Amino acid sequence: MTITLKTILVATDFSEPSKAAVTYGRALAEAFHASLHVLHVLDDATLRGVVGEGYIGPAPTFPQREQAIEQEARDELDHLFSEAERGKLKTHLTVLTGGAVPQILRYAQEQKIDLIVMGTRGRGGISHLLLGSVAEEVVRRSPCPVLVVHQHQHEVVNLGAQGVRSMSRSDAQTDE
C-alpha cells in the first residue's frame, strides 16, 4: 500500500502542542512533497469579547478590534516559517473566524486535504487525551485521516524527510 499525501493541514492555536503539530506537518509535507496548509481559527466569542481589565484609552470599535486580532494571528502564522520555507513547502497560511471544529472541517473539505495534523495537551491518560477537545471532534467528523500530536514529540520527526520517505517505501514493499 502506498500512501500519497498531496495536501496537509495543520490546525494551530499557537500553543505548545500546536507547535509540535507544526513540526510534524512540516516534516510530512517535506517528505511527501505536499503543500502545507496552516490554519488558525479565531473564535467568534474572542472577537466579541470586552476590552480587558487594565486597558487605558478609548475602547476600540469592534471592526478595529477584529482587524487587530486577525492581524496578530496572521503575524504569528508568518513567524512559523521563513520566506524560503514558505516557497519550498508550498505553504498556505489562513486565518478564519467562527467555531474551530466547523471551520477546520469545512476548510479540509474545500481544500481537499489528505491529512489533518493537530496538537493536544494530553492531560492524563489516553481517555483524557482527547475527551471534549477540538481534536476529538475533528477526529470524529473529519473527511480525512487526523494525526493528533502530543506536546512531547516522538523521535520520528527527527528522521527528517528522507527517513519518512524510506519508511513509507519499506511499508509499501512489505505490503506487496
Say if residue 103 is in the same domain as residue 145: yes
Least confident of 14-18, 39-43, 145-149, 151-155: 151-155
Residue type, 90: K
Say if residue 104 is in the same domain as residue 147: yes
138, part of any domain: yes
Say if residue 135 is in the same domain as residue 105: yes
Q: Angle at CA 28, nearest 5°, toward 138 and 171? A: 100
Say if residue 82 is in the same domain as residue 106: no
25, part of any domain: no
Say if residue 104 is in the same domain as residue 131: yes
Say if residue 106 is in the same domain as residue 147: yes
Model pTM above 0.95: no
19-48 tens-digit pLDDT: 999 999 999 999 999 999 999 999 876 666
3-state secondary structure (DSSP) of residue 94: strand
Say if residue 67 is in the same domain as residue 85: yes
Q: Which position has the grid cell 496578530?
A: 72
Say if residue 105 is in the same domain as residue 83: no
Say if residue 106 is in the same domain as residue 73: no
The C-alpha cell at 43 is 473564535
10, part of any domain: no
36, part of any domain: no
Alpha carbon separation from 121 to 14, 18, 124, 158 (Å, rounded): 12, 9, 9, 21
Residues 37/94, Cβ–Cβ less than 8 Å: yes
172, part of any domain: no
160, part of any domain: no
Least confident of 5-14, 73-82, 107-116, 119-128: 119-128
Say if residue 103 is in the same domain as residue 137: yes
Domain assignment of residue 70, given as a range: 62-92
60-114 tens-digit pLDDT: 556 777 888 899 999 999 999 999 989 888 999 999 999 999 999 999 999 999 9
Which pLDDT does position 167 carry in this prediction? 46
77, part of any domain: yes
3-state secondary structure (DSSP) of residue 42: strand
Say if residue 103 is in the same domain as residue 147: yes
43, part of any domain: no
What's the domain count of the chain?
2
